[in-house]
Structure 1
């Protein structure tokens, strides 16, 4: 698979790999234009929007079409050199892929010089946090409104009186009762709530229950393995005399915690203790060219330094999973990824869909046609490191190096799983423009194209579109991402934090029966 390191200024059409049947338009192209590509000239025969694909070869119906050196689909209508290639003439390639295990290994080299550090919070269990939050963890949807009222009443006072507390958030959700507790769905919910309770970025937890639900306080805390320095209080609305009394008691509880937690201070911690979550949302035709490869570069540096980096979104590696199994450090790890792919194929089929239901309308407007094309661009976030582990949703991340977590492609649900697993910084790439955040973990947003950054720059931390513009290389933007990861881990606010985004984006994956 090709990895473009730099693009010459003024390039109009970009060939991703030798032998590809399509190239990518780096600006809007009009019929009759003649543009250089692949050592020759190409006459444009149809309007091609920026980020979309242009045919380099004639392709017969039913024949695979290649981009990144891989099939991204088959022609559903005759394609002629110079044509716009998209949903009107390209469809899903259902041919089976060949999966190898451990056949690709890249020796990553850590940068020379002394090891880098960030200023973080050392927790009692030895883990390293990047934020100092108080969380109200709700056991059930029925306690969600009460939790938000507590936050509304306590938030301003905490901000005014306790500057070393990063904030308070209400982690509310749509479940917690009517569950079959032994079911996969219930176990996912409990694992997610456990993961947030013990997260190194959360120093104080108020577990707020209604009092009669299935997901009880004891179940949430029993296997949480919370650090000894996590302050924990519990409150039952029914036992406390109702909603009004519980809001008053809840405010008192979080203010008590804030007074203690305000004494905690950051200290230098090696960057090998960071846990980086990799996610993308609102992808476009530039994602696999600019932001994702640049993030992959930063991920490789962190992995080389001994940190953990976690790729996710199983439906968005579908069709590119063979590139990851080849990098697996054992057959068992590669097979675990394939087992999750198999689960998804069955799960989607039971619900009347196909894996190619993803890409979204926004992805398609940005130039992505099939899930194969989207996935090939998405896996670039994982750089070149070996795949050292595969986790189920919200499972604790214990392995350093590059790993994978099974999550849906829906951004809030995916990142909720990564944070529950222990991600302490998230980098989120976007081509269409996301306003995403994920408290208590800071989320750095990287835009894939300059037009987006110009239009929506208040929501984007880094413009990777400069790679396509020819004004920066993948390594230069990757280095910028790395430096911002370290600064954000040390306390610098991201754009989403400046807007106070991230509480509503706590969305545990909800599957299974509700009784």
Structure 2
């Protein structure tokens, strides 16, 4: 039976509305009665006690804001009466105990993956084309058009057929849809993907160097079988910088890499002719690699949220936390990113760090990030988007407290800066912005072979080389946008299922995705987003 209100943590002094509550509604929870003073929409919170100006607002057991004026018991809290506030953290104050979940069901489970010579196992087999500088974007787009038409299954979309009908004098309602779903690709065991971007030159040298390390991470990611790299020749991100970054990360790299530099090649025609011939040979060879069984401990799972709502922190995010704990207990790798959305929960995370130096590194990365944002005229308190606020996330600390639930409760084994590669089994923290595409781009560059992406509002994005699984925080979204949602965690809000039950179902789904049995909705929509972080200007 669905409840109408919820207190997330016994320490909380605000209560979450699980359904729309009209003004004057009387509700009962844990032996206390409340009267809702003003209409409170589902996902929003109302005061469990009287607040006076300056009083702290507690949710998830942590400070998420302060009262900006008097707020009566039963009054809805909004951006008009509550301001961002979070607890100050100086360092580790203790060690949090952890009881690992029962992993009996999972310790011998396998998925069908692509085994690489360095021992990593991929969930995809991708030949990747990318430029070292934006000047080569046009050539990448030309190659994309050529290879997709000749190698990939190319069926007219519904919208292409609509335009075709209109061009032929039709009404757009007389569409002759192609029903044949047969895979007509020449190579059935390899995907060919293409990246473009706006970096590599013209910005600060540090951003170009970071982009080189990011691309090294993509080539090293086990989802990639080989790569074609285009360079102009005069840009900041020189070929040697990229190759040095790759050698630092993978000194024994055996993956084939085709490199062409336009200013050395001469004409575009001459360069593209060579690129196509050499890349074709690499792709044909990579197609021979087949999926084989691998322990699920070989999975590297990125944890992310985007388009969050007031239910994200009590349904979808805790489900990811449960999955992350299971993976940590069996020896897999998970990564929790989005540092602006960890503001307010730093103390818990520092105390969970296995090594004290990682706690110090985490706090320094957080402080440096926040200082750079402040220097740009903003702040972490400006992180919640209009959509977040409309759906109940009114302060950054409140958003962060819910977002951090994706990391479960396992010890933190490593803290990684942007472009550092995850190698330690267990939960890792990765410094990225909260920006959806920049975060996903960074997670995959640090080795994620699957990304779990929770959303309460709906976010249509993916990644060129790693499947991105979209998990809805509420059933309304899952039913409204089934073309982008892979998995519904809204059954937790309705009371139909528990968090552990839902986590087990999600992990089973992840195994199917990792094995190539199920294609994500982002994959079906060809959402192959790639946006590198230009440090210090993103939340």
* TM-score bracket relative to the smaller structure: over 0.9
Q: For residue 44 of structure 1, what is the aligned residue in structure 2? A: 36
Instruction: From 479, 485, 500, give the equivalent of 1:475.
Output: 500
- 1:149 paired with 2:142, answer yes
8 Å contact from structure 2 (residues 86, 344) kept in 1: no
The alpha carbon displacement at 1:107 in A equals: 3.2
The alpha carbon displacement at 1:354 in A equals: 1.6
Task: List per-residue Cα deviations over 1:115-143 (Å, max 9, x = no partner).
Answer: 11111111011111111001112110000
Q: For residue 108 of structure 1, what is the aligned residue in structure 2? A: 100
Q: For residue 372 of structure 1, what is the aligned residue in structure 2? A: 397
Range 304-313 or range 103-112, more displaced: 103-112
Secondary structure of 2:212's match?
Answer: helix
Task: List per-residue Cα deviations over 1:65-100 (Å, max 9, x = no partner).
Answer: 111121110001211111111111110125524643
- 1:204 paired with 2:204, answer no
Q: Could you say what the CA RMSD is over the residues aligned between the two structures, in angstroms?
A: 1.7
8 Å contact from structure 1 (residues 314, 406) kept in 2: yes
- Evaluate the alpha carbon distance shift between residue 403 and residue 52 of structure 1 in structure 2; reply closer, same or farther with a 3 A threshold: same
Q: TM-score, normalised by structure 1?
A: 0.94
- 1:507 paired with 2:531, answer yes
The alpha carbon displacement at 1:480 in A equals: 1.3
8 Å contact from structure 1 (residues 150, 248) kept in 2: no
Q: For residue 524 of structure 2, what is the aligned residue in structure 1? A: 498
Gaps of 5+ in 2: 153-184
Q: For residue 220 of structure 1, what is the aligned residue in structure 2? A: 242
Number of matched residues?
500
- Evaluate the alpha carbon distance shift between residue 95 and residue 133 of structure 1 in structure 2; reply closer, same or farther with a 3 A threshold: closer
- 1:78 paired with 2:75, answer no
- 1:122 paired with 2:115, answer yes
Instruction: From 194, 216, 229, give the equivalent of 1:194.
Output: 216
The alpha carbon displacement at 1:112 in A equals: 1.5
Task: List per-residue Cα deviations over 1:264-309 (Å, max 9, x = no partner).
Answer: 1011111111111001111111011000000110111111110011
The alpha carbon displacement at 1:247 in A equals: 3.7
- Evaluate the alpha carbon distance shift between residue 228 and residue 21 of structure 1 in structure 2; reply closer, same or farther with a 3 A threshold: closer
- Evaluate the alpha carbon distance shift between residue 288 and residue 145 of structure 1 in structure 2; reply closer, same or farther with a 3 A threshold: same
Task: List per-residue Cα deviations over 1:440-473 (Å, max 9, x = no partner).
Answer: 0111110101111111121011111110010111
Q: Distance in 1 between matches of 2:344 and 2:402?
A: 11
- 1:355 paired with 2:386, answer no
Gaps of 5+ in 1: 1-8
Secondary structure of 2:215's match?
Answer: helix
8 Å contact from structure 1 (residues 101, 334) kept in 2: no
Q: Distance in 1 between matches of 2:15 and 2:398?
A: 12
Q: Distance in 2 between matches of 1:192 and 1:478?
A: 31
Secondary structure of 1:469's match?
Answer: coil
8 Å contact from structure 2 (residues 223, 465) kept in 1: yes
- Evaluate the alpha carbon distance shift between residue 16 and residue 487 of structure 1 in structure 2; reply closer, same or farther with a 3 A threshold: same
Q: Distance in 2 between matches of 1:462 and 1:109?
A: 22
The alpha carbon displacement at 1:493 in A equals: 1.0
Q: Distance in 1 between matches of 2:345 and 2:462?
A: 27
Range 215-224 or range 352-361, more displaced: 215-224
Q: For residue 4 of structure 1, what is the aligned residue in structure 2? A: none
- 1:11 paired with 2:3, answer yes
- Evaluate the alpha carbon distance shift between residue 327 and residue 179 of structure 1 in structure 2; reply closer, same or farther with a 3 A threshold: same
The alpha carbon displacement at 1:249 in A equals: 3.6
Q: Distance in 1 between matches of 2:38 and 2:426?
A: 45
Q: TM-score, normalised by structure 2?
A: 0.90
Q: Distance in 2 between matches of 1:206 and 1:252?
A: 11
Secondary structure of 1:257's match?
Answer: helix
Q: Distance in 2 between matches of 1:158 and 1:221?
A: 28
Q: For residue 177 of structure 1, what is the aligned residue in structure 2? A: 201
- 1:298 paired with 2:320, answer no
Q: For residue 137 of structure 1, what is the aligned residue in structure 2? A: 130
The alpha carbon displacement at 1:362 in A equals: 1.0
8 Å contact from structure 2 (residues 195, 464) kept in 1: no
Q: Distance in 2 between matches of 1:101 and 1:127?
A: 36
Task: List per-residue Cα deviations over 1:143-169 (Å, max 9, x = no partner).
Answer: 01211220111013222100001x222
- 1:345 paired with 2:367, answer no
- 1:238 paired with 2:263, answer yes
Secondary structure of 2:124's match?
Answer: coil
8 Å contact from structure 2 (residues 194, 464) kept in 1: no
Q: For residue 339 of structure 2, what is the aligned residue in structure 1? A: 314
Range 254-263 or range 410-419, more displaced: 254-263
The alpha carbon displacement at 1:110 in A equals: 4.6
